[in-house]
Chain A
């Protein structure tokens, strides 16, 4: 691989402007102080209770996600462009969803193959013909971005269902402000703490037609055994809304109610953190114990709003991803501001041939996979790993897509020996309701292992505070 773009030092030629003041900060921090601060940060996290569980790995369920104190910084101008690009994408994805659950104009126009949409497992037949309030399916769009140069941002994937991690974005900032108040006086850093309030407003703005008065919003969690339970309860607390499980809700007549100590209380908007399949045993998986029987009947007759709307997943499928630039052109008549990563679809014969011929240079992913599992990073894999993967790929090509290995940018990161560049990505959380809003910040994930390009927390990734500087 070639040279990586470092966001602080550029590709040689001195410290880039957004990071200028961090250079001094770094100089004033001896190693002992750094260890002290790192321990303090960890204690704070543990006290607050931010821990995560990794699926299928066993071990300590109360594990902390590693936090790196060196912030990642964007200038106002850099962010302005990202802001436009992310909002453009979130808007197009929602228009796509309304379209494919309605007349399917984009398919009639021949811009996206019908089978990719209609035969997609995430396409929910049950909601066809129903338009959710304000025409919004995906209320929280998490867009995973990587950077390869000063001006080069690529979208890695879209998350239209229930992107997680926003609690880290908020807590990372909280911790940084507590530990280094001076940094926030010297640098003009845009605040992000309005996120919860904007989220609440966004959710309230999509209340169902039958709701009169102030909408009652709740967060629906699969329960305290879920790895993201902390985030669910954290958001409920910040928004001042109830955190409910399926068993707390029931359907009566045309509405959904919560079981409270004062009797049933009507619920208007459900921000759900459970998958479609588990929402309602009468409509989806009949064995689901997590959902609310009859919920989908109430939803489809306009008695309650569900965020994200059931069926939103069809927009963030990896096979659909390649068509997002097409969506932007088709619905908005604009050119995409953020680029897609070139993608080869292994389901197509020519693409498959190219992928098999160049396995050593490519990243190959499962179409429906997530969390960095089931993927091959060609340049990092051994010969044997590549050959094993080749066999899987040939056996079931339509299950895979491939992308070039991107030269992910690096940001200085504290390591045992001092400070060293580590690869990062970025997930901003775009809120879509009556308006489309994006707080000035996001979650920066960092691959803590030297040379690693995998930033997932389940694969040795950590997080950083993400700064957007004021003009």
Chain B
């Protein structure tokens, strides 16, 4: 499947910032399930109300880390009240039933057994994890855990926020893809399986499973390590494994660790930051 991505993240600052430093994981992972046709990330900065005065950000360090993620550092010179990060590209994807085939990474899967504040276990998570049998082996256990998360947390935007933990989301019984992913990671780790958070994009056609496809085009899911098969993706929010509709960008212990954009502003401390994200994922085949 050919997918076209146009992802715009805009930051507005109440007071002008003197400069920004960002670290991006905005490049599609290299594995058999996806091939980049074209891909471009641009960063611009300007002052609100001043049209046409946009200055481009400066691309700095660029490398692939031990998890196989492509990382780009950017510096944006101020003063700026508006910063825009735009990702445009086209990717040829294939359905590998969630398997991350041909992905080069150095990190030992065992490193992903560590829990973070967002994926820490709780009595309720443990109880839920124990409802799934491992009689059918690790793969069937992983599927079972994913289904358990889908059943326990109903898709409902606006209930949880960026810092909601897996245990909080489970208690609420509602959440978005980030909460589903965190809950699944927590369950898998409780059952001794390495698990991690994946951020990426999802194309949802009119018959798509996602109830609110526009909001979920910037998507997140989990990967679980299964002996003999390697890392396998699970998307409890859509009750499936990632297929040709998914584009994988980056992974980490949790949402914060796998964030596609991290940034720090210099000298804008007195004002608030507002973020606005728009993502469109279209199919070039249609």
Contact = CB atoms under 8 A, between A and B. Distances in A.
Contacts of A237: none
Contacts of B106: 102-103, 128-129
A184 interface: no
Contact of A114 (B60, B63, B110): B110
A300 B61 contact: yes
Contacts of B266: 250, 293
A303 interface: yes
A254 B61 contact: yes
Interface string A108-134: 000000110011010101111110000
- Shortest beta-carbon contacts, A-B, top 8: A128-B66, A129-B66, A297-B73, A301-B61, A129-B106, A118-B110, A293-B264, A294-B21
A125 B223 CA distance: 17
A294 B110 contact: no
Given A103-B106, A253-B61, 16 more contacts: A118-B113, A119-B114, A125-B253, A126-B66, A128-B65, A129-B106, A252-B60, A253-B75, A281-B264, A286-B262, A293-B266, A297-B72, A297-B73, A298-B61, A298-B73, A300-B61
A251 B57 CA distance: 13
Contacts of B73: 251, 294, 297-298, 301
B66 A293 contact: no
A253 B59 CA distance: 6
20 contacts: A101-B66, A102-B106, A104-B108, A115-B113, A118-B113, A119-B110, A119-B111, A125-B107, A129-B106, A253-B75, A282-B21, A282-B22, A293-B21, A293-B266, A294-B22, A294-B264, A296-B23, A300-B63, A301-B61, A303-B61
Contacts of B107: 125, 128-129
B75 A118 contact: no
Given A102-B106, A301-B62, A282 B111 contact: no
A297 B113 contact: no
A251 B66 contact: no
Nearest to A251: B21
Interface in A285-299: 286, 293-294, 296-298
Contacts of B263: 282
Which label, helix, strand, loop or mixed, suits the secondary structure of the B interface? strand
Interface residues of B, number: 29
A283 B73 CA distance: 11
A253 B65 contact: no
B256 interface: yes
A297 B110 contact: no
Contacts of A281: 264
Contacts of A296: 23
A114 B72 CA distance: 31
Interface of A: 101-104, 107, 114-115, 118-119, 121, 123, 125-130, 250-254, 281-283, 286, 293-294, 296-298, 300-301, 303
B71 interface: yes
A251 to B, nearest CB: 6
B58 interface: yes
A371 B22 CA distance: 37
A294 B66 CA distance: 17
Contact of A253 (B23, B58, B63): B58
A300 B65 contact: yes
Contact of A294 (B60, B62, B113, B114): B60
Contacts of A103: 106
A252 B106 CA distance: 28
A301 B111 contact: no
Contacts of B60: 251-254, 294, 297-298
B277 to A, nearest CB: 19
A107 B22 CA distance: 35
A301 B111 CA distance: 22
A303 B266 CA distance: 22
Contacts of A253: 58-61, 75
B71 A125 contact: no
